[in-house]
């Protein structure tokens, strides 16, 4: 749905932030976007939603140059969730906040009500619909920002470091929500420094290094033993789960989580015990 072709970008008076980056985003993708601070991640996502215009190259949404798409078309196609949810929350109740986008679209009352109800439902916010959003915890405010984006029924959701400031359990709940949205067919681009989350949730990884795209492929390949030294050069970290799996003499295949790795190791050990006792494997 989104086709980024040879895009370069520079902030005035600065070295190029992006150099000829090409990237195709298909409907329903789950992409983890990684790289050092300053590698161009946020700039790339801003170009995707039309918050910045490329110096050269072009971004196509369903084949149409995004420069020609109005903000309404962009906002309907792609939802953007800022790293700091407080930057996009300004109304008195959660429901009003979520209704802002649909109001701007001048949808009918019934369409608006339906869109808000659906967005609150998807994000588990029904119980706080009447609450003052700034009085909620950071984790809830993050959900409000996501619900506001979802109210326009976008096909793609871009989230910039959505787990920052969240504790381990809030993080797990948020990722669970993103998995669910993705299963419903919404594409997700997750900008993150958390390689454990990237490995566990994104099927595809894109890595930027000094403004260039240096990796684009299945996430487990990013952390495979052969790529591990490069990953370090790009300022990333191989998650411990992948590092352990990569160093086992008996290949257990790609694993995405502690549970998967433990299951495979236990499977091997059980197999061993059966062999020893002579029982059929």
Partner 1 sequence: MQAIQFEDFSYHYPKTGTGLDRVSLAIPYGSFTVLTGANGGGKTTLCLAMTGLVPHFFGGSLSGQVLVDGQSTAGRSVAETAGGVGIVMEDYESQLVSLTVFEEIAFALENQALPAALIKERVSEALAAVGLDGLAQRELSALSGGQKQRLAVASVIASQPKILVLDEPASALDPEGAEELYALLAKLNREQGITVIVADHDLARAMPYADTVVVMEQGRVALQGTPTDVFAKMLSGQIYAAAVPALRRLKGRLEREHQALSDWLTADAAASEINALLSPQRRLSLSA
237 lies in the site for partner 1, by CB under 8 A: yes
**CB 76, CB 150: distance < 8 Å:** no
Q: Is residue 176 part of the contact set for partner 1 (CB under 8 A)?
A: no
Nearer to partner 1, 114 or 196 (CB): 196
Asked whether 245 and 255 are in contact (CB, 8 A), the reply is: yes
**Is residue 36 at the binding interface for partner 1, with CB under 8 A as the rule?**
yes
**CB of 128: closest distance to partner 1 in angstroms?**
16
* Contacts (Cβ under 8 Å, ≥6 apart) of 236: 34, 35, 195, 207
Where does 66-211 show beta strands of DSSP type E?
A: 78-81, 156-160, 187-191, 204-209
Subset of residues 114 to 143 that bind partner 1, contact rule: CB under 8 A:
137-139
Query: For strand 2-10 and strand 156-160, is the pairing parallel, antiparallel, or unpaired?
Result: unpaired
Residues within window 240-269 making contact with partner 1, judged by CB under 8 A: 240-241, 243-244, 246-250, 258-259, 261-262, 265-266, 268-269
Q: What residue has token string 């998967």?
A: 260
Identify the DSSP state of 249: S
Q: What is the DSSP letter of 92?
A: S
Choices 21-29, 45-53, 96-104, 170-178 (CB under 8 A): range interacting with partner 1: 170-178
Dist. CA 15–CA 25, nearest whole Å: 26
Residues in the interface with partner 1 (CB under 8 A) total 44
- Rounded to whole angstroms, how far apart are CA atoms 33 and 204? 9
Q: With respect to partner 1, which residue has the nearer C-beta, 76 or 134?
A: 134
Given 58, 164, 227, 253, the residue binding partner 1 (CB under 8 A): 164
Using CB under 8 A as the criterion, which residues of the chain lie in contact with partner 1 when the complex forms?
Answer: 35-38, 137-139, 164-172, 193, 195-196, 235-241, 243-244, 246-250, 258-259, 261-262, 265-266, 268-269, 272, 275-276
């Amino acid at each position: 749905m989104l086709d980024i072709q040879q895009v370069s970008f520079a902030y005035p008076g600065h070295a190029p932030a992006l150099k000829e980056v090409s990237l195709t985003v298909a409907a329903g993708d789950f992409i983890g976007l990684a790289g050092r601070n300053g590698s161009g991640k946020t700039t790339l996502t801003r170009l995707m939603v039309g918050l910045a215009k490329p110096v050269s190259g072009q971004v196509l949404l369903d084949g149409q140059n995004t420069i020609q798409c109005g903000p309404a078309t962009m906002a309907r196609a792609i939802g953007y969730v800022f790293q700091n949810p407080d930057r996009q929350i300004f109304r008195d109740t959660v429901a009003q906040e979520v209704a802002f986008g649909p109001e701007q679209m001048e949808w009918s009352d019934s369409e608006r009500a339906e869109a808000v109800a659906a967005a609150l439902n998807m994000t588990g916010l029904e119980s706080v619909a009447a609450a003052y959003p700034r009085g909620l915890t950071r984790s809830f405010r993050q959900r409000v920002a996501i619900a506001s984006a979802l109210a326009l029924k976008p096909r793609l959701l871009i989230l910039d470091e959505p787990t920052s400031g969240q504790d381990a359990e809030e993080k797990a709940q948020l990722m669970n929500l993103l998995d669910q949205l993705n299963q419903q067919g919404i594409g997700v681009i997750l900008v993150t420094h958390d390689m454990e989350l990237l490995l566990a949730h994104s099927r595809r990884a894109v890595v930027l290094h000094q403004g260039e795209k240096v990796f684009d492929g299945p996430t487990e390949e990013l952390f495979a033993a052969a790529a591990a030294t490069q990953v370090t050069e790009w300022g990333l970290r191989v998650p411990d789960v992948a590092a352990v799996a990569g160093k086992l003499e008996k290949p257990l295949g790609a694993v995405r989580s502690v549970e998967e790795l433990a299951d495979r190791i236990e499977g091997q050990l059980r197999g061993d015990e059966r062999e020893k006792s002579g029982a059929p494997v």
